[in-house]
């Protein structure tokens, strides 16, 4: 059910309710007005009769044929029906002012709803001929009901016109609103398909304009994130390819040549004059070298100590490795024993984050001191702080490096939060908060 349909239905129902209650109030007011007008006309007629009709002691002073037509022609008697009852019982009607020609007679149902109990007044007197006659005055509401009918028609016509105007205004507003909504929906569909360059225009309505600006900002953020992820993916693929190339070179240069040498020396031992002892020592030396190479390759692929001894021992081994390669860099590790109980997916990510940070420090920071600190303030949270006293950089530059971008993605994969504090010549502090549940 569309919003336009719901609003239109509510307008119709509201108009019907207003029409019903308004009609009831209008009929009640009209009925009260008719009764008041008739009572007023009847009372006025009674007062005029009392002022103009003589009493029995003044018999012969009234000329009915001359006075009564003038009395009937008064404006105040237009709601009255006046009858003259002769001594013989004959009734003579005197019509009051006729209903104006421009007034349409109301329908019978309206007359029935507004009709009040008939009221009449009878006054006896003696005319100029000495005859005893009676003047009967009846209340006739038809003229007042006709006026009420005209007023009611105007009221209901006005209500219908107002309802029509309301419908028109609401539908015009909805047409403009739906047009704006359509533009917004089309932009969202474009964003869903990855077209983040499509922007929403400015709207005249403040609320829609705010929505458009928010959507445009979201599109810019998604576009930047999409470009970062694309660049990170390409960089990851490039690193994988480089690692495979390096691994292939290691296998060819180290393992291949060493195995070839072992094979040659093993073949030489078949000769009776071969120095078996020297050949055995050479093979042992080559095997020791191969073991060292294989361990180095395994460390680069996946640190076995992480699986066998836990995160703390792996980090200690990692820092010792970097300290041996770069003795000018002082590395400090603060790590509780409880980190060894973390889930494997958290352990490997934390290890890779520390590994990446140390790589960045060695390559770019030109630092002489660095500290890696892990804290577990509760069983549900892990804090990781990595600080150095290197040359630092601007926050804008931190968004360009693939290393920090990879760290940010690793933290995000753990539903954690990353904060980077740095400035030129003031070192860098990387803080990560990782939930453990």
Q: What is the DSSP string of 167-231?
A: HHHHHHHHHHHHHHHHHHHHHHHHHHTT-TT--PPP-SSHHHHHHHHHHHHHHHHHHHHHHHHHH
Percent of the chain predicted with pLDDT > 70:
82
Confidence of residue 400 (pLDDT cuts 50, 70, 90): low
Tell me the CA distances in angstroms from 211 to 193, 208, 303, 351, 412, one per residue in order: 20, 5, 50, 42, 27
Confidence of residue 113 (pLDDT cuts 50, 70, 90): confident
> Could you tell me the domains of the chain?
3-168 (no CATH), 306-437 (3.30.565.10)
Confidence of residue 374 (pLDDT cuts 50, 70, 90): very high
Instruction: Name the range with the highest mean pLDDT among 104-118, 222-236, 260-274, 421-435.
Output: 421-435
* pLDDT the model gives residue 290: 84
> Residue 55: pLDDT above 70?
no
* pLDDT the model gives residue 100: 47
Pick from 287, 326, 319: nearest CA to 303: 319
Instruction: At 85, give phi and psi (nearest 5°).
Output: -100, 115
Q: What is the pLDDT of residues 257-277, one digit of tens each?
A: 888 888 888 888 877 777 888
* Average pLDDT of the chain, as a whole number: 79
Radius of gyration for the chain, computed over Cα atoms and rounded to the nearest angstrom: 53
Q: d(Cα 7, Cα 358) in Å, to the nearest integer?
A: 63
* pLDDT the model gives residue 101: 44
- Higher-confidence residue of 381 and 39: namely 381
E strand or H helix at 140, and its extent? none
Confidence of residue 432 (pLDDT cuts 50, 70, 90): very high
Q: What average pLDDT does this structure show over 241-260?
A: 78
Q: What average pLDDT does this structure show over 64-77?
A: 61
Beta sheet of 428-435, edge-to-edge order: 330-334, 369-378, 381-388, 428-435, 417-422
Q: Count how many Cα atoms sit within 13 Å of the Cα of residue 293 in the half-sphere of its side chain.
A: 20
Q: What average pLDDT does this structure show over 335-363?
A: 89
Q: d(Cα 357, Cα 370) in Å, to the nearest integer?
A: 10
Start-to-end Cα distance in the chain? 43
Per-residue HEC secondary structure of 228-291 comes to HHHHHHHHHHHHHHHHHHHHHHHHHHHHHHHHHHHHHHHHHCCCCCCCHHHHHHHHHHHHHHHH
The mean-pLDDT minimum among 1-10, 210-219, 339-348 falls in 1-10
Q: What average pLDDT does this structure show over 127-151?
A: 74
Sequence-separated (6 or more) residues with CB below 8 Å from residue 332: 369, 370, 371, 372
* pLDDT the model gives residue 56: 46
Instruction: At 321, give phi and psi (nearest 5°).
Output: -60, -45
Q: d(Cα 417, Cα 385) in Å, to the nearest integer?
A: 12
CB 399 within 8 A of CB 408: no
* Residue found by looking up tokens 């207003």 in the block: 18
Confidence of residue 388 (pLDDT cuts 50, 70, 90): very high
What is the model's pTM? 0.48
> Residue 179: pLDDT above 90?
no
Q: d(Cα 199, Cα 205) in Å, to the nearest integer?
A: 17
The mean-pLDDT minimum among 67-76, 107-116, 337-346, 427-436 falls in 67-76
- Higher-confidence residue of 59 and 351: namely 351
CB 429 within 8 A of CB 384: no
Q: What average pLDDT does this structure show over 289-301?
A: 78
Pick from 71, 84, 72: nearest CA to 122: 84
Percent of the chain predicted with pLDDT > 90:
9
Pick from 285, 293, 220: nearest CA to 256: 293
CB 200 within 8 A of CB 216: yes
Q: What average pLDDT does this structure show over 170-194?
A: 84
Q: Count how many Cα atoms sit within 13 Å of the Cα of residue 47 in the half-sphere of its side chain.
A: 8
> Residue 65: pLDDT above 70?
no
Helix (H, G, I), strand (E, B) or coil at 95: coil
CB 204 within 8 A of CB 210: no
CB 208 within 8 A of CB 184: yes
> Residue 44: pLDDT above 60?
yes
> Residue 118: pLDDT above 80?
no
Instruction: At 201, give phi and psi (nearest 5°).
Output: -75, 175
Tokens read off for 261: 């040498």
Sequence-separated (6 or more) residues with CB below 8 Å from residue 371: 331, 332, 333, 334, 385, 386, 387, 388
The mean-pLDDT minimum among 22-26, 142-146, 262-266 falls in 142-146
CB 139 within 8 A of CB 129: no
Q: d(Cα 420, Cα 358) in Å, to the nearest integer?
A: 15
Q: What average pLDDT does this structure show over 316-328?
A: 89
> Residue 22: pLDDT above 70?
yes
> Residue 97: pLDDT above 80?
no
Confidence of residue 58 (pLDDT cuts 50, 70, 90): very low
């Amino acid at each position: 059910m569309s919003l336009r349909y719901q609003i239109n239905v509510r307008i119709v129902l509201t108009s019907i309710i207003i029409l019903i209650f308004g009609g009831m109030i209008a009929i009640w007011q009209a009925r009260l007005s008719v009764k008041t007008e008739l009572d007023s006309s009847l009372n006025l007629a009674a007062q005029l009769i009392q002022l103009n009709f003589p009493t029995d002691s003044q018999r012969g002073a009234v000329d009915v044929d001359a006075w009564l037509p003038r009395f009937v022609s008064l404006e105040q008697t237009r709601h009255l029906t006046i009858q003259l009852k002769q001594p013989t019982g004959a009734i003579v009607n005197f019509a009051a002012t006729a209903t104006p020609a421009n007034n349409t007679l109301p329908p019978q149902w309206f007359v029935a709803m507004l009709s009040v109990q008939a009221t009449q007044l009878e006054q006896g007197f003696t005319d100029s001929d000495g005859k005893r006659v009676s003047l009967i005055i009846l209340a006739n509401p038809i003229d007042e009901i006709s006026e009420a009918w005209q007023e009611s028609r105007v009221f209901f016509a006005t209500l219908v016109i107002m309802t029509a105007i309301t419908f028109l205004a609401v539908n015009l507003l909805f047409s403009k609103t739906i047009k704006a909504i359509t533009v917004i929906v089309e932009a969202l569909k474009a964003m869903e398909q990855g077209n983040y360059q499509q922007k929403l225009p400015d709207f005249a309505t403040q609320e829609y304009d705010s929505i458009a600006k928010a959507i445009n900002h979201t599109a810019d953020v998604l576009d930047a994130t999409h470009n970062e992820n694309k660049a990170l993916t390409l960089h990851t693929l490039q690193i994988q390819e480089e690692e495979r190339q390096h691994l292939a070179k290691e296998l060819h240069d180290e393992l291949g040549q060493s195995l070839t040498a072992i094979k040659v020396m093993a073949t030489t031992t078949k000769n009776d004059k071969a120095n078996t002892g020297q050949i055995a020592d050479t093979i042992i030396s080559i095997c020791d070298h191969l073991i060292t190479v294989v361990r180095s390759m395994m460390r680069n692929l996946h640190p076995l100590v992480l699986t066998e001894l836990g995160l703390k021992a792996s980090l200690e081994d990692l820092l010792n490795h970097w300290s041996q390669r770069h003795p000018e860099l002082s590395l400090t590790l603060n790590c509780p024993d409880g980190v060894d109980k973390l889930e494997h997916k958290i352990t490997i990510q934390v290890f890779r984050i520390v590994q990446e940070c140390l790589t960045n420090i060695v390559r770019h920071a030109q630092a002489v001191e660095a500290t890696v600190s892990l804290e577990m303030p509760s069983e549900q949270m892990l804090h990781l702080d990595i600080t150095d006293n290197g040359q630092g950089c601007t926050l804008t530059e931190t968004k360009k490096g693939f290393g920090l971008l990879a760290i940010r993605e690793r933290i995000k994969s753990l539903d954690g939060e990353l904060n980077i504090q740095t400035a030129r010549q003031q070192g860098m502090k990387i803080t990560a908060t990782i939930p453990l549940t």
